Amino acid sequence: MFNTNRQKIMDRTDILNQEWKTRRIQPVHIMTSVGSLRGTREVIPLKTLNAVASVPVMYSWSPLQQNFMVEDETVLHNIPYMGDEILDQDGTFIEELIKNYDGKVHGDRECGFINDEIFVELVSALSQYSDNEDDEEEEEHDFKVEKMELCTSDHHSVISALISLSVCLSVCLSVRYKELTEQQLPGALPPECTPNIDGPNARSVQREQSLHSFHTLFCRRCFKYDCFLHPFHATPNTYKRKNLENQVDTKPCGLDCYMYLVQVSQRSFIHSFIKYHSSVNCCSPSSVSVFTIFTSIKQMGGKNSSFVRGNSRCQTPVKMKLTGEAEAVEWSGAEASLFRVLIGTYYDNFCAIARLIGTKTCRQVYEFRVKESSIIARAPAEDEDTPPRKKKRKHRLWATHCRKIQLKKDGSSNHVYNYQPCDHPRQPCDSSCPCVTAQNFCEKFCQCSSECQNRFPGCRCKAQCNTKQCPCYLAVRECDPDLCLTCGAADHWDSKNVSCKNCSIQRGAKKHLLLAPSDVAGWGIFIKEPVQKNEFISEYCGEIISQDEADRRGKVYDKYMCSFLFNLNNDFVVDATRKGNKIRFANHSVNPNCYAKVMMVNGDHRIGIFAKRAIQTGEELFFDYR
């Protein structure tokens, strides 16, 4: 069957080829006969592979949709290869490059020959072949000897020195090895680390100790732990609560609620007070710092036998009674730690605390509370590190205010500085505030009062925020979803059609871009859907590097004649060479169809690429690099 079909196809092809020959069309070959090694003729199908056009060169890069901050490179990681001819002709360039890094090149033998990791690995690898410790260490020595030999010329002196050295070296090394291996035992942690609260080794620790990692690693701007963008995270100790929400349940949580206990004990007039001091200086230094504590006193057991929470700051000592029959309940370390954490949040809402701990009743919690009372933080009062401004400002005043600020900015210079949240307790944002000196607005991440004069008020637009009527647009800021509550920047998180057109970068509402060889040079980027004038196309993402680092990298890029550097502000540069997104392939043009705009987006400067005119489907994107 197959052969007959084959024959049929062959015949047909022959007919076609005959016909095409008369019409001067290239004939088609299906089979070709080749002489095999054995001398017999074999027929194998011939598959014609079409010529594939080569694509432009592309150096590998990692995709990214948000900027990524990297530290300065203090050593030259690699000597860039730019072809043999450049290497030969332009040796001075490499020299200069190395000079930029103070002569430090990655992998130099002088520094860090063996680090701890390699050392441990080496010893454990060698230990497979040796029976006892001594052999192992001898091997170590040999290794060292070889290294020393490289350095010195006089063999005799070296050997004699080594013999004396070897003894003390062996001791040193074995000690070091033990140190390192012990560290690696499972469960063993450095002393400064709090044990896992869910683990078997959970210890009873203070609140700030339990929360230390969470507090220090959390980035309040990215909502992530150890984020990629902000190297310095503010700990929450100076963050204040806008609304005190530690409401205490007024209803007992169950039959055995501690509230009944309190009531009963009140009725029976069995009072046993624990007196504790309310002033700040009384608190032990260790317990301070979770909140800026000012006095707040709970008066327990009021006349109407319910809890009256007072912020009255009365200086009278508070009496806290012990329950009659304090039971000997065992509190595990984890539970105790958790209790201390929760009491700092829920204060005297023991029912809630018990619910969250899960393994203790509120009564037990209450009893524990009484026991621990001396070290427990109390609910903070209104704090006042910045004098509150008058409320109920008219919007128009705000608008003129921020316009004034904007004008002031425009008047001075084009220098834009990076924003860093200010933190100066009990000091208003005046000329000493870093935000003010950098001519930035205070953002919601600043530690200053929400009533701070330097804060940007946000807009109250009901339109699309794409004209200078919008104070945000005027100030080259995107609308802040926590400040601009009327324009729609804070709505419709899921859908793409937001009424506010001034929040595209933060929402990542980029257009679909397509990569293809450019009509101009190298690769180019093409738009899939047509866009209107001034519409957002994409954010120019990349690594955020310092200006110094950019200078160093720029020297190499200039040599390659290919640079993805983009000035972000006076402090930082975006480099899309190693990490970036597709818009990095947009080429330069003096008559471009896109423009770039550096905008302040929720405290970060980010680069938006926008359409300069209406762009049609499949057009290549260009912007002016200058």
Partner 1 sequence: MSGASCKANGAVYPASSAMMNSVKKPKMEQIQADHELFLQAFEKPTQIYRFLRTRNLIAPVFLHRTLTFMSHRNGRTNAKSLSSHLQLTFTGFFHKDEKPSQNSENEQNSVSLEVLLVKVCHKKRKDVSCPIKQVPTGKKQVPLNPDSNQTKPGSHPSLLVSSNEFEPSNSHMVKSYSLLFRVSRTGRRDTNDVTDTPSRKKRSSSHRDEGETTETFVAQMTVFDKNRRLQLLDGEYEVSMQGMEDSPVSKKRATWETILDGKRLPPFETFSQGPTLQFMLRWTGDASGKSTAPVAKPLATRNSESSSPMETRTSNHRAALMKSVSTDIQTRKEQVLCEPRQKLRIFYQFLYNNNTRQQTEARDDLHCPWCTLNCSKLYSLLKHLKLSHSRFIFNYVPHPKGARIDVSINECYDGSYVGNPQDIHSQPGFAFSRNGPVKRTAVTHILVCRPKRTKPSLSEFLESEDGELEQQRTYVSGHNRLYFHSDSCMPLRPQEMEEDSEDERDPEWLREKTATQLDEFTDVNEGEKEVMKLWNLHVMKYGFIADNQMNQAIMLFAENTGAHIIRRNLCRNFLLHLVSMHDFNLVSTATIDRAMARLRQIQEELPDIEEEQQDQTQHIAPCFHAECIAFKI
d(CA 597, CA 334): 51
CB 451 to partner 1: min, Å: 16
CA angle in degrees (0–180, nearest 5) for 498-499-502: 85
Q: Any long-range contacts for 52-59 (C-beta under 8 Å, 24+ apart)?
A: 55/517, 55/523, 56/517, 56/518, 56/522, 56/523, 57/522, 58/523, 59/577
Residue type (1 letter), 264: V
Q: From the CB of 542, what's the least distance to partner 1, in Å?
A: 13
Q: Which of residues 377-406 bind partner 1 (CB under 8 A)?
A: none
**Closest separation between CB of residue 482 and partner 1, Å?**
5
Told to check if 338 binds partner 1 by CB under 8 A, we report yes
β-pairing verdict for 622-623 and 587-588 = parallel
At closest approach, how far in Å is the CB of 433 from partner 1? 21
444 near partner 1 (CB under 8 A): yes
CA angle 584, 589, 590 (to 5 degrees): 140
By CB under 8 A, residue 217 contacts partner 1: yes
9 binds partner 1 (CB under 8 A): yes
- Nearer CB in complex with partner 1: 220/559: 220
Closer to partner 1 at the Cβ: 40 or 54? 54
**String marking each residue 241-280 x if it binds partner 1 according to CB under 8 A:** xx--xx--------xx------------------------
Nearer to partner 1, 227 or 436 (CB): 227
Residue 174 or 323 with smaller CB distance to partner 1: 323
Q: How far is the CB of 417 from partner 1 (least distance, A)?
A: 23
Select the residue interacting with partner 1 from 112, 190, 285, 411 (CB under 8 A).
Answer: 190
Residues of this chain, 34-73, that bind partner 1 according to CB under 8 A:
50-52, 55, 58, 62-66
Q: Are 618 and 531 in contact (CB under 8 A)?
A: no
Give the number of other CB atoms < 10 A from CB of residue 553.
Answer: 21
CB 512, CB 581: distance < 8 Å: no
Decide if residue 360 touches partner 1 (CB under 8 A): yes
Residues near partner 1 (CB under 8 A), total: 101
Q: What is the 3-state composition of the chain as percent helix, strand, coil, each rounded to the nearest 5?
A: 35, 15, 55
Dump strand ranges (E) for 191-234. 218-219, 224-225
The pair phi, psi for residue 447, each rounded to 5°, is: -85, -5
Is residue 372 part of the contact set for partner 1 (CB under 8 A)? no
Q: How far is the CB of 344 from partner 1 (least distance, A)?
A: 8
Tell me the window of 142-150, 171-179, 340-348, 545-553 that interacts with partner 1 (CB under 8 A): 340-348
533 binds partner 1 (CB under 8 A): no
Binding span for partner 1 by CB under 8 A among 111-119, 188-196, 375-383, 414-422: 188-196
Q: Which is nearer to partner 1, 141 or 582 (CB)?
A: 582
- Segment contacting partner 1 (CB under 8 A): 209-217, 264-272, 369-377, 567-575? 209-217
Nearest distance, CB of residue 20 and partner 1, angstroms: 7
Residue from 367, 391, 439 nearest 600 by CA: 439
Residues 6+ apart with CB under 8 A from 445: 220, 221, 234, 421, 603
228 binds partner 1 (CB under 8 A): yes
109 binds partner 1 (CB under 8 A): no
Q: Work out whether 113 is an interface residue with partner 1 (CB under 8 A).
A: no
State yes or no: residue 365 binds partner 1 (CB under 8 A).
Answer: no
| Contact residue for partner 1 among 122, 356, 399, 405 (CB under 8 A) | 356
Q: What is the dihedral of CA 394, 397, 398, 401, to 10 degrees?
A: -170
What is the C-alpha separation between 256 and 323, in angstroms, rounded?
14
Minimum distance from CB of 81 to partner 1 (Å)? 21
Distance of CA 616 to the CA centre of its chain: 36
Select the residue interacting with partner 1 from 157, 400, 467, 616 (CB under 8 A): 616
Q: How far is CA 390 from the centre of its chain?
A: 36
Which residue's CB is nearer to partner 1, number 553 or number 582? 582
The distance of Cα 430 from the centroid of its chain, to the nearest Å, equals 30
194 lines the binding site for partner 1 (CB under 8 A) = yes
Report the DSSP pairing between strands 604-611 and 273-276.
unpaired
Q: Is 225 in the site for partner 1 (CB under 8 A)?
A: yes
When asked if residue 442 is in the footprint of partner 1 (CB under 8 A), the reply is no
SS3 274: strand
* Dihedral of the alpha carbons of 429, 432, 433, 439, in degrees to the nearest 10: 100
Kindly state whether residue 607 participates in binding partner 1, applying the rule CB under 8 A.
Answer: no
Q: Does 526 bind partner 1 (CB under 8 A)?
A: yes
95-103, 170-178, 451-459, 478-486 -> range binding partner 1 (CB under 8 A)? 478-486
Q: Among residue numbers 290 through 309, which ones bind partner 1 (CB under 8 A)? A: 290
Which sign, positive or negative, has the C-alpha torsion 609, 611, 616, 620? negative
- Does 345 contact partner 1 by CB under 8 A? yes
- The Cα–Cα gap between 313 and 316 comes to 9
150 binds partner 1 (CB under 8 A): no
